[in-house]
Structure 1
């Protein structure tokens, strides 16, 4: 009963404006778009951490990464990956964005593995736990690669890559 009363209290022009505004906005491409948004937010967080805004010392496990290029440039690459993933959330093909994410996560995981291999015991006598962060990053890289493979089967399975709500050839 309350929903009927509420419906009549709302002006009709407001409903039309809201509906038209929602139609103009891009829509997230279903569950796969939501995955891309989540991974994009993670990349943006990495970007903020390493772009140089925060005044923190770099983790000792990043020696290999810093040898490739300075951390602020890595921060920019993390931002680019994040924006690519967010843009991919509104498209069918996510392979480029997920490929960049997989490559970056793999490089960072190798950096922490390298650090653990060189310094298994820290100078203060504690065990080096860099392998744990390497395992987390490697797991995220495998997840991104697996998701890219599941979502973008290529030309051999075009029936799998359809927009939400579109009819497939089986219908």
Structure 2
């Protein structure tokens, strides 16, 4: 991990922490990366439309990894009450630095969060094996989602996603914990 972080840094990766309206121009490109990454892990449930709406949520942040001003990866999340919650990540797998970008971001995100006064980091869901290498363990997180009207397709997709995430997390949960 240190080697990949160092290689990314030496190659010129730079962190661009975008909040509020400043993140809006980068969201379409990030959404493409995030959807591609989520598809690789079987966890896609969002797109540019959702990311654009969530940008208005207080504390929303896009931690963008740039190489020569080009977006090569990013992590979307929220900083709230001393907690950085990472939610969606995306990597340009066609870029020469693709092998270093995710590791570099997962190293830079806590550094940025600490500089902002955060004391807790939630590394998000999915990709548990990679996150375990960073010392993160999954924690059960429940979210209430209000669906206006009867939306069986969306409700079923959310149920399947929760089940799939739970199955993926099981080997990494604390002993005795359930999803």
If the length of structure 1 is used for normalisation, what is the TM-score? 0.31
- Higher CA-based Rg: 1
If the length of structure 2 is used for normalisation, what is the TM-score? 0.30
Larger strand percent: 2
Larger helix percent: 1
